[in-house]
Structure 1
Amino acid sequence: MRFFTDWEGPWILNDIAYELCLAVFNNGEFFERLSQYDDYLMLTGRSSAGSTLKLIAPFLVAAELKRDEIVKISRDLARFVPQAEEAMKFLCEKYEAVVISTSYEDYLKVTSEMLGVKGHLHGTSFDPEKYEIDERWKKWLIEKVDEIAALPEIDPKNPDERTVRYLDDLFKEMERSPFKKVLEDVKVVDAKEKRRIMESYGERKVIAIGDSISDVEMLRAARRKGLAVSFNGNGYAVREANVIIVSETALSEAMIVDLFLSKGFEAVKNYENSEHELLNEVMGKTEIYFEASEDVIEKSEKMRKRLRGKVGELG
């Protein structure tokens, strides 16, 4: 039997796109603006959620990032959800993990190995070293980093027109530049692709774990056939889930997955009386809800920000 899960959020606290923007450009605001633009594109129907990794790829190529640098940054900065290694070991002794993440494959592979994941990995393929681009073009794009960071924030529901117009024009210009090939090559495991991958396994009993806007399609599909779990999710994920975990330990995920796959949804609903072997470890560190409300969303987002910091505030 298998369980399906996102990676960043439910198991690892980092966001590799954010970490790379800090390491390469020393500019978190640049990443934030592109992440907000990604949310805006999704909510206006212009793309599927999770495209930030595509949007930042040309900039990483312009900065001459190497794959071994991605691996080193991934390994050196990895911070996992408390008790994630113990939780993953517990699950992988009984079930097969299917990790479906928007994150770059190199990052996903090295960090999943650190956690001892046994199963299938699906991430975004990206090789920044395969492109030969003139130095003039690289300089042109690198100069845009600080300009993007200085733009007003984008509230997806009430976007700043100046910021949206600037980014729309920039990416149109990139389509007429050597960076067009980069944008074409990066096939992001976005929200729709996450759902497609999960459904391709043909599981009759489905449980999926997610935490953000890029997980909504997967969670929505999982809810129809089984369990959609939000783990410290933002509002987008919480509203699509039928089990909402607010927790400071990954053991809560392991317990819910095991209860569902071994005994069904009723056992999940009665988890407090389940006598599950992980229950004592989970109690006092976890709250579990079965309906989304504004109060539940607030609690979930508060825990998300507490554990993940700045990246927990993004979509």
Structure 2
Amino acid sequence: MSILIAFDLEGPLSPQDNAYEIMGRLPQGYELFERLSRYDDLLTLEGRPGYEPGDTLALIVPFLLAYGVKEEDIRAVSRTAFLTPGAKETVAELAALGLPSCIISTSYCQHACRVAWELGLPEDWVACTRLPLNAWQGELTPEDREWILEVARSFLEVPLEDDEALKRLGESFFWEEMPRRAKLGKFFSLVRVVGGTRKTEALTNFARRAGVSLDRVVAVGDSITDFHMLKTVREAGGLSIVFNGNVYSLPYGTCAVASLDLTAILPLIKTFAQEGLAAVRQEIENFSRSSGEGGPFYHWLLDRSPGEEIVSLHVRFRARLRGRAAHLG
């Protein structure tokens, strides 16, 4: 029986956080992105109506415009990204078995489609965030540009751990002041980041195209933007794999895999396709008894919460593969 494998991109398929690296080319860009990412986490955790995890990629758009970033810059940063070890082999083996894959990513399409091409996946099996930066660059007034740069300086003055100050500044800039500036407010509203429930919408559409129900889907994710997709697949009876996940994603997996090579998930997918979920659980129990000191490490999560030991293990593997971007939500 056929199945569909849905991959998050940043983490499982490529270690680079593309938006983070784009911002990193700007003055104190990494630090600014980290504050905006934390603000994104706070909005997600409080359940702000209409806000989705991963909307950081909308939050940074005013700053990209103010610093003159263009679509070519996104592509240039994307070309520096490398694939997660084993990613190409995993996608190729799944294709050889007749098991279709898709990518569902918050990443800007300039990055997501390039990685898909490198993996041999067609663009029409990629859901990503569209960002027509070049068309918008000429619309920004000098006054708007200076105002945004001043706000950037204000964000950088706030300590990263000061959640209350970040919320106050974010509320004022994004939800009070920016809507009053017609063009800026319009640009911000047009960025529809593929995160949270929007990932699940994309997954449902891809499953329909593949002719499978959600209980025949494998979802592979690692972060806060994936939790709704992982949760939906798990509750439907499909297989949700958290690969080197963080504290925001691990509670929503059917199982978790900590590894420096993506091919570690292949045995689970093959078993799920041929024998179903119960056989995957048995395989994980067998693997758990035989895992060496360097991994890979497998954990069944369907009927348990990930404890500190599992979370810490994934944090370590995540840091080894993703470097500085590992701590982002």
Could you say which residue in structure 2 is the equivalent of 1:294? 308
Q: Return closer, same or farther for 1:182/1:240 CA change in 2, 3 Å cut-off.
A: same
How far apart, CA to CA, are the structure 1 residues paired with 2:274 and 2:84?
Answer: 24
Q: Which of 200, 210, 213 is the aligned partner of 1:195?
A: 200
Q: Return closer, same or farther for 1:90/1:175 CA change in 2, 3 Å cut-off.
A: same
How far apart, CA to CA, are the structure 1 residues paired with 2:151 and 2:96?
Answer: 48
How far apart, CA to CA, are the structure 1 residues paired with 2:292 and 2:91?
Answer: 15
> RMSD of the TM alignment (CA)?
2.2
How far apart, CA to CA, are the structure 2 residues paired with 1:238 and 1:163?
Answer: 26
Of 280-289 and 13-22, more deviation after overlay is shown by 280-289
**Aligned amino acid, residue 192 of structure 1:** T
Could you say which residue in structure 1 is the equivalent of 2:104? 100
Could you say which residue in structure 2 is the equivalent of 1:268? 280
1:281 offset after TM fit, Å?
A: 12
Could you say which residue in structure 2 is the equivalent of 1:87? 90
Q: Secondary structure at the match of 1:229?
A: strand
How far apart, CA to CA, are the structure 2 residues paired with 1:186 and 1:282?
Answer: 45
**CA deviation profile, 1:156-215 (whole Å, cap 9, x unmatched):** xxx632221112111121111231111111011120101122123243212111101111
**Aligned amino acid, residue 140 of structure 1:** W
Q: Which of 237, 241, 264 is the aligned partner of 1:252?
A: 264
Q: Which of 211, 224, 239 is the aligned partner of 2:222?
A: 211
How far apart, CA to CA, are the structure 2 residues paired with 1:270 and 1:84?
Answer: 25
2:89 maps to 1:78: no
Q: Is the 8 A contact 1:58 1:183 kept in 2?
A: yes
2:30 maps to 1:31: no
2:72 maps to 1:65: no
Q: Is the 8 A contact 2:271 2:280 kept in 1?
A: yes
Q: Return closer, same or farther for 1:281/1:85 CA change in 2, 3 Å cut-off.
A: farther
How far apart, CA to CA, are the structure 1 residues paired with 2:10 and 2:59?
Answer: 18
1:268 offset after TM fit, Å?
A: 1.9
Could you say which residue in structure 2 is the equivalent of 1:43? 45
Q: Which runs of 5+ in 1 are unaligned?
A: none
**Aligned amino acid, residue 232 of structure 2:** A
Q: Which of 228, 238, 244 is the aligned partner of 2:240?
A: 228
Of 136-145 and 220-229, more deviation after overlay is shown by 136-145
Q: Return closer, same or farther for 1:93/1:143 CA change in 2, 3 Å cut-off.
A: farther
1:80 offset after TM fit, Å?
A: 2.0
How far apart, CA to CA, are the structure 2 residues paired with 1:12 and 1:303?
Answer: 14
1:70 offset after TM fit, Å?
A: 1.0
Q: Is the 8 A contact 1:83 1:251 kept in 2?
A: yes
**Aligned amino acid, residue 193 of structure 1:** R
TM-score with structure 1 setting the length = 0.91
Q: Secondary structure at the match of 1:107?
A: helix
Q: Secondary structure at the match of 1:126?
A: coil
TM-score with structure 2 setting the length = 0.87
Q: Is the 8 A contact 1:7 1:100 kept in 2?
A: yes
How far apart, CA to CA, are the structure 1 residues paired with 2:8 and 2:292?
Answer: 21
Using the aligned pairs only, state the percent identity. Answer: 31
Question: How many positions carry a matched residue from both structures?
Answer: 306
**Aligned amino acid, residue 36 of structure 2:** L
Q: Return closer, same or farther for 1:293/1:55 CA change in 2, 3 Å cut-off.
A: same
1:284 offset after TM fit, Å?
A: 5.2
**Aligned amino acid, residue 248 of structure 2:** Y
How far apart, CA to CA, are the structure 1 residues paired with 2:163 and 2:217?
Answer: 40
How far apart, CA to CA, are the structure 2 residues paired with 1:74 and 1:179?
Answer: 26
Alignment of 1:151-162 (within 5 A): 151-154=158-161, 160-162=163-165
